[in-house]
Amino acid sequence: MQTTYDVIVIGAGHAGCEAANAAALMGCRTLLLTIDLDKLAHMSCNPSIGGPAKGHLVREIDALGGLMARVTDRATIQIRTLNESKGPAVQSLRAQCDKHLYAQVMKETLERVPNLDIRQAMVERIVPPTGNVETPRWGVSMGETPHRGVFTVITHTGFTYQARSVILTTGTFLRGRAITGDATWGAGRAGEAPSLALGENLAALGFPLVRLKTGTPPRIHARTIDFSLTEAQHGSDVPLYFGHYYEIADCGLPIADCTAPDNPQSAIYNRQSTICPVYPHAQLDGWRPQLPCYLVHTTPEFHAIIRANLHRAPLFSGVIEGIGPRYCPSIEDKIVRFADKERHGLFLEPEGWGTSEVYVQGCNTSLPEDVQWAMLRSIPALRNVELMRVGYAIEYDAVATGEIGADLQARRMPGMFLAGQINGTTGYEEAAAQGLMAGINAARHVRGEPAVILGRDQAYIGVLLDDLVTKEIREPYRMFTSRAEHRLLLRGDNADLRLTPLARELGLVDVRRAEAVERKREQSADLRARLEGWRIFPSATVNAALGAASVEPISQPMSAFDLLSRPALRYDQLQAALGLPDAPPTVVEQVKIEATYGGYIDRQRREVARLHKMDSRRIPPNLDYAAISGLRNEARQVLARFRPATLGQAGRLAGITPADVTIILFALERGQK
């Protein structure tokens, strides 16, 4: 039996699955340990993937060879583009998923990954390398030379594994506690045991831990909802995918084969029928079957019930100690903070094809169960609703800010990497992005290679990781487009152009996919050049042709590229009027964005070039800030705690001024001389 590995991943949520996949694809013998094999990448909260900034992360994960996008495309029950009326920088896909199918597809996918073993076990203790113990002989991936620096992982049965690198992706399980009203019980998620011993082990190893909180809403039975009193929210009527598929899917199947439900005998939808017996308005005859979501609103009675029971709310009674996410508050918190609002929107989101459970998005709560029944039944569409699962809050341990580097490696324990909610983030997408990078860097660590660190101008993933090592995380961190100062360069449509070449270098994607990306890049450049050279002169004939294609006439000579810069103008309109060449939709999309937003894009590129000088200036990890004369005491304390890797990172730390950065720069130059 295999017990020695290159990389061991502890926890199989969204972070753990991506970490294990990446490390294994890079040639490391990898072990993924999880408490429950049936809940790999389990959607314990909202059964959705994507949204503003989060959707960008998913596209980047896919561009780097990760799994989340393709699994989502297999498990989607509804998908649409958000912010369509806004610019391309903030447009993003969002998909509702069949939560059980998502976990099933992820498990089946990981079971086929070479170099990866998956086992069910609860890890109770990690014994770090002692530095003086000769390690076992390793397999092919590590060569035949014994190595020092081995972690020992001890499970609940006393069985042990060993590895050169360990990745912790513990989610909400570290000393987790669930709370509903006065009831509290140990849980990583409702119905699942917490990881108590491992939390105590990390504290004993010296990791400072903080207490955070998240929550979920009640789940209700679809057949007890009066859908006639709701507003249906439909999916897209045109094909949309998170994955970059090009001509065919990377699994080798035509894209069309990825669009059908994987559960044709579902109790909710039979593929042979065009009628959904549970959800009215279901799109069953379009490009793919989709289930709608439904909008309802809270009522004055709903608000009154909550206010009358605030003394029983754990959030206000002191039962809850952890800090929750500001941008996903409990419904009782919203009622108090926004007392002037007469109503709040709630979305009823189906949890899958084969279940009648519906997620009440926007109604996170830890109020007592009787209060949850009463407040939901105060909404007209839910007068007779039946709760299938009550909402609850969950408190858990996370590692304090300043404990990880930009490579996600623990500063106090080389070879150990942390990813996901253990780093103070919230959300499946943020966790998956960290897991992917932790898997990459753990594999690089094992092979003695430098870490891969994405810049803020390269990816939203780079923004996420930079924020985690330069900002004080006092509440669960969530990604927003506003956090990316170069967001016009970090669009979802160009994630493959930005990141897939790197993925090919790392061995995360095959040559066929890398060639497809370069073909897209070349075709985009070629089409732009052709349009820039395509001169159009105003004349009655030209303007008549433009008018026939619903294009405003021109009054002066211009290129087709300049004409395409009109925001509301589509390429197919110009093509009909002027006979422009055919091009793949993804290529047309690139050229249209460059034409419309070229000035802004060029401005951001110049700003990136200016800032790159700061981010390329490395700071030695052992720099003695106490010995730098002229540096303020506050700056010394902040710098010594966060240990920024570059001058750019130093400048982004809270409490560091431009003058501090200048003093550090002078010190570095003196040291070089």
Q: Which residues contact residue 137 at a Cβ distance below 8 angstroms, ignoring those fewer than 6 apart?
A: 144, 146
Can you tell me the mean pLDDT for 157-186? 96
Among residues 184, 88, 643, the alpha carbon closest in space to that of 409 is found at 643
Can you tell me the mean pLDDT for 52-74? 97
**Which amino acid appears at position 618 of this protein?**
R
| pLDDT tier, 672 (very low <50, low <70, confident <90, very high otherwise) | low
Runs of H (alpha helix) within 309-447: 314-317, 331-337, 369-376, 428-446
pLDDT beyond 60 at 664: yes
pLDDT at 360: 97
pLDDT, tens digit (0-9, with 9 covering 90-100), for 387-404: 999 999 999 999 999 899
Q: Is 533 helix (H, G, I), strand (E, B) or coil?
A: coil
Cα 586 from Cα 86, distance rounded (Å): 19
| pLDDT tier, 281 (very low <50, low <70, confident <90, very high otherwise) | confident
Q: Is 75 helix (H, G, I), strand (E, B) or coil?
A: helix
Q: How far is C-alpha 28 from the geometric centre of its chain's CA atoms?
A: 24
Can you tell me the mean pLDDT for 16-44? 97
Task: Output the six-digit token pair for 70.
Answer: 């393709």
pLDDT, tens digit (0-9, with 9 covering 90-100), for 490-519: 999 999 999 999 999 999 999 999 999 999
DSSP 390-414: --EEEEEEEEPTTSB-TT-BBTTST
pLDDT at 420: 97
pLDDT at 128: 95
Q: Which residues contact residue 59 at a Cβ distance below 8 angstroms, ignoring those fewer than 6 apart?
A: 69, 93, 242, 244, 492, 495, 496
Candidate from 253-257, 301-305, 603-607, 620-624 with smallest mean pLDDT: 253-257
| pLDDT tier, 135 (very low <50, low <70, confident <90, very high otherwise) | very low
| pLDDT tier, 264 (very low <50, low <70, confident <90, very high otherwise) | very low
> What is the enclosing helix (H) or strand (E) of 467?
helix 460-470
pLDDT beyond 90 at 372: yes
Among residues 298, 302, 305, 313, the alpha carbon closest in space to that of 368 is found at 313
Among residues 418, 348, 433, 416, the alpha carbon closest in space to that of 385 is found at 348
Q: What angle do CA 271, 267, 285 make, to 5 degrees?
A: 30
- What domains are defined for the chain? 4-213+396-482 (3.50.50.60), 511-613 (1.10.10.1800), 617-672 (1.10.150.570)
pLDDT at 654: 81
pLDDT beyond 50 at 253: no
Place of tokens 């109020």: 367
How many CA atoms lie within 13 Å of 513's alpha carbon, on the beta-carbon side? Answer: 24
pLDDT, tens digit (0-9, with 9 covering 90-100), for 546-592: 999 898 999 999 999 999 999 889 999 989 989 999 999 999 999 99
pLDDT at 335: 93
Task: Output the six-digit token pair for 513.
Answer: 């996919």
Can you tell me the mean pLDDT for 165-177? 96
Q: What is the pTM of this model?
A: 0.90
pLDDT beyond 60 at 131: no
| pLDDT tier, 611 (very low <50, low <70, confident <90, very high otherwise) | confident
Cα 389 from Cα 220, distance rounded (Å): 7
**In percent, how much of the chain has pLDDT > 70?**
93
Task: Output the six-digit token pair for 449.
Answer: 């290679």
pLDDT at 265: 37
Cβ–Cβ under 8 Å, residues 442 and 19: yes
Burial label, 556 (beta-carbon count in 10 A; 0-12, 13-18, 19+): exposed
Q: Residues 273, 277, 281, 283: is their CA dihedral positive or negative?
A: negative
Cα 642 from Cα 472, distance rounded (Å): 10
Compute how many other C-beta atoms are within 10 angstroms of the C-beta atom of residue 59: 29
Phi, psi of 321 (to 5 degrees): -105, -30
C-alpha distances out from residue 443 to 70, 107, 500, 506, Å: 23, 22, 18, 10
Q: What's the mean per-residue pLDDT of the chain?
A: 90
Q: Are strands 116-120 and 30-34 parallel, antiparallel or unpaired?
A: parallel
Cα 5 from Cα 167, distance rounded (Å): 12
